[in-house]
């Protein structure tokens, strides 16, 4: 079992102010894999103090210095890439091949994107009556989730460091292996003491202390909408900048002229990827009423071809859910769907046969659902897909937009018919015909899916203040 009980503060691994440990278990077999410390507001105070001192110097660093440090960090990340892939697979149950090809790839992808953006980014521009300067906002409190652990760490830390800010990071206590490994890489890259700080802990303690801290200038949070509201309330007293990346319930519109079988199968695959634990997963499939039963059959056949199994196996498509608590949450939504009258097409409540140990769940398809059902309205965050039918383009646009969320949307069909629909959807990211955006495009959504944008040069903006000098 790994002993990860120290925090990284002011360039050193230090003991917490008070001893309070938590054992981290594997979601696959319930084995104890690590022990971490749960920090307190006192630990946050020490980290913020270090970050504040470091900001006075690091904020004045040159562009070349920050590019050089990021390049060194990327070099180290690539050298230790397999370690990161294994850590993520162990801590949150991602199948190892998926962890290598997708999860760990996000870390290097965001570092490369930040380097490329920084090389061409303009931190000042002349205006008619003055000059605009973009300056680092200050000490940044970053609170990240467990579902894409290094993705959310890298897409927040990279722009913060690129723009000259300093950081206090609280990663999820459910997935601490990747954040500790990343802190080791930061240290190895030679970042000045205090520029990056890591404090483990619970959201209601360390997260709340970060959100409300008077010496933290901005908070970037990724997680549930409910938790994002709590962060906003805690941060409001100090009038700091708050950037939120929250939940989703993304529609996947498949039109009659799409490559229908490919689009349906791709939609199922995208929904179930990462065991459905993605905020932008296409969890609502909308198909023409004339092809409704055809879509259900295609989806069922494809779902039956997927392998639920150990994250260690290269044959596994779907691993376990992250925790027993989350497993019970996903199970409860299946029960709710059945009670509300949804038709179970595939999967359903209970664990797959042969998986009595671990947080494994059946990939599940529901049909005959409506927008007023909780299974359609609320974010399940598991491998659960709802299939609905529509009669017209106007109706499907109304159905797609009928959600408190607006993170992503997916459309398949002929180019001349999907573009007008894309412009009418109230979502921050639209994927056409199975395509996906790269790390240079902004990630974020409308409505209760959050505010601000991450990734690439667009991610810089949340970490910068704008100053006008006239005369």
Q: What are phi and psi of 45, to 5 degrees?
A: -60, -45
The CA distance from 456 to 154, in Å, is: 11
In 3D, which of 192, 195, 196, 212 has the Cα closest to residue 204?
A: 212
- Residues in a beta bridge with 252: 285, 410
Whether residue 82 lies in the annotated active site: no
The CA distance from 26 to 33, in Å, is: 6
Determine contact, residues 324/360, Cβ cutoff 8 Å: no
| Helix ranges, 190-223 (H) | 208-212
Whether residue 243 lies in the annotated active site: no
In 3D, which of 345, 353, 367, 352 has the Cα closest to residue 321?
A: 352
Q: Which of 106, 165, 271, 279 is catalytic?
A: 279
> What tokens appear for 284 in the block?
């609502």
Q: How far apart are the first and last CA of the chain?
A: 62
User: How many other CB atoms are found less than 10 A from the CB of residue 429?
Assistant: 23
Q: Which of 91, 173, 245, 379 is catalytic?
A: 245
Look-up of token digits 């105070």: 45
What are the b/e assignments for 439-461, b being 16+ CB within 10 Å?
beebbbbbbbbbbbbbbbbbbbb
The CA distance from 207 to 172, in Å, is: 10
Cα→Cα distances 34→5, 174, 176, Å: 9, 10, 9
- Residue 291 gets the label, from left (phi > 0), alpha (psi -120 to 50) or beta, of alpha
Q: How many helices (H) and strands (E) does the chain have?
A: 15, 23
The CA distance from 32 to 26, in Å, is: 6
Determine contact, residues 327/335, Cβ cutoff 8 Å: no
Q: What are phi and psi of 148, to 5 degrees?
A: -130, 75
Active site residues: 245, 279
């Amino acid at each position: 079992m790994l002993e990860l009980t120290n925090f990284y503060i002011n360039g050193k691994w230090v003991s917490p102010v008070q001893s309070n440990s938590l054992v981290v278990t594997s979601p696959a077999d319930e084995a104890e894999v690590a022990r971490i410390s749960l920090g307190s507001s006192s630990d946050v105070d020490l980290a913020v103090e270090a970050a504040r001192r470091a900001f006075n110097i690091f904020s004045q660093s040159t562009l070349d210095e920050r590019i050089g440090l990021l390049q060194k960090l990327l070099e180290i990340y690539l050298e230790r890439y397999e370690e990161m892939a294994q850590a993520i697979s162990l801590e949150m149950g991602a199948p190892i091949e998926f962890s290598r090809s997708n999860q760990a790839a996000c870390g290097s992808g965001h570092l490369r994107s930040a380097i490329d953006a920084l090389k061409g980014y303009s931190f000042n521009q002349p205006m008619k009556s003055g000059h605009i300067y973009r300056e680092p906002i200050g000490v940044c409190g970053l609170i990240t989730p467990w579902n894409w652990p290094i993705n959310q760490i890298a897409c927040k830390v990279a722009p913060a460091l690129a723009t000259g800010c300093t950081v206090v990071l609280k990663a999820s206590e459910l997935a601490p292996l990747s954040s500790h490994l990343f802190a080791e890489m930061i240290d190895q890259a030679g970042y000045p003491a205090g520029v990056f700080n890591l404090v483990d802990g619970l959201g209601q303690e360390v997260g709340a202390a970060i959100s409300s801290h008077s010496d933290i200038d901005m908070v970037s949070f990724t997680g549930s909408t409910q938790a994002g509201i709590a962060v906003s309330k805690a941060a409001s007293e100090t009038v700091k900048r708050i950037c939120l990346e929250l939940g989703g319930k993304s529609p996947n519109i498949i039109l009659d002229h799409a490559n229908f079988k490919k689009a349906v199968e791709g939609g199922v695959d995208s929904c179930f990827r990462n065991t459905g634990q993605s905020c932008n997963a296409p969890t609502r499939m909308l198909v023409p009423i004339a092809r409704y039963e055809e879509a259900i059959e295609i989806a069922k056949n494809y779902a039956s071809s997927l392998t639920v199994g150990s994250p260690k196996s290269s044959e596994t498509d779907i691993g376990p859910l992250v925790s027993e608590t989350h497993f019970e949450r996903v199970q409860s939504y299946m029960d709710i769907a059945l009670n509300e009258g949804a038709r179970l097409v595939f999967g359903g409540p209970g664990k797959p046969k042969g998986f009595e140990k671990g947080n494994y769940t059946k990939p599940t398809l529901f049909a005959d659902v409506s927008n007023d059902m909780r299974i359609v309205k609320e974010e399940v965050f598991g491998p659960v897909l709802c299939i609905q039918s529509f009669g017209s383009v106007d109706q499907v646009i109304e159905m797609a937009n009928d959600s408190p969320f607006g993170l992503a949307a997916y459309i398949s069909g002929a180019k001349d018919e999907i573009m007008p629909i894309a412009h009418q959807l109230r979502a921050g990211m639209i994927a056409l015909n199975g395509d996906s955006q790269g790390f240079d495009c902004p990630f974020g959504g409308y409505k209760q899916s959050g505010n601000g944008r991450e990734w690439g040069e667009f991610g810089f903006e949340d970490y910068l203040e704008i100053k006008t000098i006239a005369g």
